[in-house]
Structure 1
């Protein structure tokens, strides 16, 4: 008998959905140790907190090893672990794999990941683009499993009924930006693009901003709304799953104007694709690759507000929808089958 030991240091947000989904597979067990890692880079606590986590995971596995012939530890989020060059991951009769959600942003981190990759059997990434970036840097023990949508939209009303509930006119083109207003997500790039958009277009546009206030707060957004005459509907409090899904459904376009240093997948983009809603994103990096590779919508010159303004006007004129085979890769069933195959092959 073999066992798959699933480990993470966090249960917040998508961490919980990811873990709980994989726990549906046979022979899986949660050996996570919830703890907050130090973020002060190159400090003693930075390394110590991560080493303590790995030690706890190894201890949790050792306690359960007597009941199995062989096992596999799956580190569900190695983005905050591979920067420890002296981590010891070895366990008797146990293989180790890890999921990487963002590829390294600089050469030092890439070198550290390469060292880390030699200590484990396999790295899982969520895009072929990320796999290619790792391959270019000499990391070859990599496989792709696409990050799925964990939401179930079946119980929601239609988009037209939701628009009535939310008092959104059918004449308006809704551009949504969902999730926390972090700097890397480029909300300011999007809002600045309205300085180049004529009023006759602005009258047709509703900007839908829903998420936690972070870098760009409600005062900044209000200021930009007045400065550039932008019609904005915003909500910054906690949203339920149904409220989040509703804001996806009412969108004509999902806007993901990430800055160049963002190197992962976008949750709102995934939700748009599974609902056949076109995406507007930069022509750079993983986001740009996915949009172009799978024909998911429009791309603009990365970090260029003027380029984005031209795409916004084109999107208002055309009001397109998408039907991409990529959405078939984004189901939980496909996600679980892919992990099951990897576990089976390694065991």
Structure 2
């Protein structure tokens, strides 16, 4: 097998574990370089830094390559394709790129389409994104489902975890996991509780866990008092064990995301792999997956009335998830699918 050179410019969070997982394939080699890219599109540096990163990856790969059948894999196209001329100099390699979020406007889609013509294969993490690209006549696309990178085998069961976390056994745990960013819609979720009958609210513990960002702990407290929400928060750095524990104790993972959120949801993946029901917007990639694979309940995006109705429906019809989609979000499936992409090239 020829070599596959893996390239990213970000070494933190999911970027790191994504890269480390692909490094486990014996014929891959890491040629990444940690670099900050300018976000000022009116600056020459915006284009130069992206071009320089790609040139650096090419030079590193050239030095290690012994075949014109070798592959360069850019693990995060999202911050590269807006400089469509940056792949011009790459020769003698096949090029793979992974796109995590689809372009949201016509200009970005045009830029990506131009960029895609220089790629031998584009990997996306949902059938929904592949369909969007197909409508733009971008056809060199392969779907590899985004996996759960966590190992839950060391955790105690749900009952024991509730005891350890001092969560009442009789409460239905509805979890909003991840940073309290505006695009994740925590404010919409809190507002929706004013439309839920008090008797039902008394059954719920709203579990909010993640980095404190746009919505502060004080904001959450004020809304919880106003709308009579029983809640617990863990805002700040959350280590892997605590994150996994908060997934496992959940009866529902809720995704009140705004329409500006277009990627895959990490908490949704963790819910799927643990057979936990998901409540998310009916539109976009999340709604597509929930409806097609029977993963939970959907609501009209950014509509608190629809969100409240979906919560009430869940409380009245709390059946188990009946889906085999969890088999597609394992690390084993992820690695096997990437090996297929590489070897077919």
1:149-189 Cα deviation digits (max 9, x unpaired): 00000010000110111121221111101111111111111
Q: Distance in 1 between matches of 2:170 and 2:201?
A: 12
Counterpart Cα distance in 1 of 2:89 and 2:174: 48
Residue 214 (structure 2) aligns with: 215
Judging changes above 3 Å, is the alpha-carbon distance between structure 1 residues 221 and 290 closer, same or farther for their aligned structure 2 residues?
A: same
Q: Determine whether 1:324 maps to 2:323.
A: yes
Aligned to 1:181: 180
| Equivalent pair of 2:161/2:245 in contact (CA under 8 Å) | yes
Measure the CA separation in 2 of the matches of 1:89 and 1:221: 49
Aligned to 1:234: 233
| DSSP-derived class of the 1:32 partner | coil
Where does structure 2 lack aligned partners over 5 or more consecutive residues? none
Match of 1:57, SS state, is helix
- Find the counterpart in structure 2 of residue 120 from structure 1: 119
Change (3 A) 1:179 1:167: same
1:101-112 matches, cutoff 5 A = 101-112=100-111
1:89 positional shift: 4.6
How far off its partner does 1:42 sit? Answer: 3.3
User: Separation in 2 of the partners of 1:90 and 1:258?
Assistant: 39
Q: Could you tell me how far apart the structure 1 residues matched to 2:18 and 2:125 are?
A: 13
Alignment of 1:245-264 (within 5 A): 245-264=244-263
Residue correspondence of structure 1 range 46-57 to structure 2 within 5 A = 46-57=46-57
TM-fit CA distance, 1:86? 1.5
Tell me what 1:146 maps to.
Answer: 145
Contact 2:7 2:72 in 1 (8 A): yes
Structure 1 residues 177 and 89 mapped into 2: Cα distance closer, same or farther (>3 Å)?
farther
Equivalent in the alignment of 1:17: 17
Question: Does the C-alpha gap of structure 1 residues 329 and 89 become closer, same or farther in structure 2, counting only changes over 3 Å?
Answer: farther
**Post-superposition offset of 1:93:** 2.4
Q: TM-score, with normalisation over the residues of structure 2?
A: 0.98
| Cα displacement string for residues 268-323 of structure 1 (whole angstroms, at most 9, x for unaligned residues) | 00000000000000001001001001000000111101111111112122222213
Structure-1 residue corresponding to 2:63: 63
| Alignment TM-score, normalising by the size of structure 1 | 0.97
Q: What CA distance in whole angstroms lies between the structure 2 residues aligned with 1:185 and 1:59?
A: 39
Pair 341,38 (structure 1): closer, same or farther in 2 beyond 3 Å: same
Partner of 2:281: 282
Q: Single out whichever of 161-170 and 311-320 deviates more from structure 2.
A: 311-320
Equivalent residue, structure 1, for 2:266: 267
> How many residue pairs were aligned?
345
The whole-number CA distance in structure 1 between the counterparts of 2:112 and 2:174 is: 37
Q: Distance between the aligned counterparts of 1:89 and 1:198, measured in 2?
A: 60
Matched position secondary structure for 1:63: helix
